[in-house]
A = this chain, B = another copy of it.
Amino acid sequence: MISGGVLIAVLTWKAGSPTWLYQLSKAGKLCVPAMNVNDSVTKQKFDNLYCCRESILDGLKRTTDVMFGGKQVVVCGYGEVGKGCCAALKAMGSIVYVTEIDPICALQACMDGFRLVKLNEVIRQVDIVITCTGNKNVVVREYMDRMKNGCIVCNMGHSNTEIDVASLRTPELTWERVRSQVDHVIWPDGKRIVLLAEGRLLNLSCSTVPTFVLSITATTQALALIELYNAPEGRYKQDVYLLPKKMDEYVASLHLPTFDAHLTELSDEQAKYLGLNKNGPFKPNYYRSAAA
């Protein structure tokens, strides 16, 4: 039973999204306890925001040598991954547009200085299209037909569904492999789009994952597994659980010395004032947004 829990905890990382775990649970088909480590704050921030902020640049450079300055880019999705991609490209001098379905994320994109558009409004003018939605068929053939010559198309989201690559495997289009992980798809009129990693994850296919990020992700998962294994009978049922806040904080604290970072300790008086234990957890479980 518990070893099943172990298996699932690992899988959630691979899938990049715990959505199906919750679906299984809702459908009553989850036969073991599962820990959603994907939504712990440290995992989210490092595996998604901080890692992608760097790997979007790295992945694009290694495959295309494109210069970022002055380029027009559309980023589909403004979750943690999209936020990382947008921040990095903006800093490098790109002009970035964002598409979103969720009004909360959309409003954040606005406040961070990105024009919120529908894909069809900018598809003719952009130099780079990046998907980070976790959705399917975000970039479909219709859009690719209208892209300009040389447009780079890649996926930073959770699987190979976001770009409808299948729609490009038709007789009238020619594929030309120009470099490992880089295909030119050529229209009858000679227009080319540059498809990276055949629509699979750019950050895994064409970039590297820093050891620091792997350390955080692995630590988070290991702690989740230890918790599931050590928990007394009955603490966890056949359901999906978030990583306890204290473990999340522990993962973070283990990685602070890397930066020679010095944490401040609460005085007894301050801990009492805040109603906190001096050793944490420092935030209530409901408190995620402010920590994010």
Residues 83-100 of A at the B interface (beta carbon under 8 Å): 87-88, 90-95, 99-100
- Which of A39-47, A165-173, A181-189, A228-236 has 4 or more CB atoms under 8 Å from chain B? A39-47
**Closest chain B residue to A58, Cβ basis:** B61
Given A19-B275, A61-B54, A292-B289 in contact, is the A90-B113 Cβ separation under 8 Å? yes
**Closest chain B residue to A125, Cβ basis:** B260
**Contact yes or no, B107 A255, CB < 8 A:** yes
**Closest chain B residue to A292, Cβ basis:** B292
**Closest chain B residue to A287, Cβ basis:** B39
Contact of A263 among B72, B80, B94, B106 (CB under 8 A): B106
Given A259-B110, A260-B125, A291-B104 in contact, is the A54-B67 Cβ separation under 8 Å? yes
CB distance from A37 to the nearest CB of B (A): 12
**Contact yes or no, A68 B42, CB < 8 A:** no
CB distance from A159 to the nearest CB of B (A): 11
Show the binding face of A for B, using Cβ within 8 Å: 19, 22-23, 36, 39, 41-42, 44-46, 48, 50-51, 53-54, 57-58, 61-62, 65-70, 72, 79-80, 87-88, 90-95, 99-119, 121, 125, 134-137, 161, 207-208, 210-213, 242, 248-250, 252-253, 255-256, 258-267, 269-270, 273-275, 280, 282-284, 286-292
Please list 30 pairs of residues, one from A and one from B, whose beta carbons are closer than 8 Å in the complex, sorted by A's number: A51-B67, A54-B57, A54-B92, A57-B57, A57-B58, A57-B61, A61-B61, A62-B62, A65-B208, A66-B210, A67-B210, A70-B111, A80-B289, A80-B290, A95-B114, A99-B264, A100-B263, A100-B264, A103-B263, A104-B283, A105-B291, A106-B261, A107-B252, A107-B259, A110-B261, A121-B262, A137-B269, A288-B288, A290-B292, A292-B292
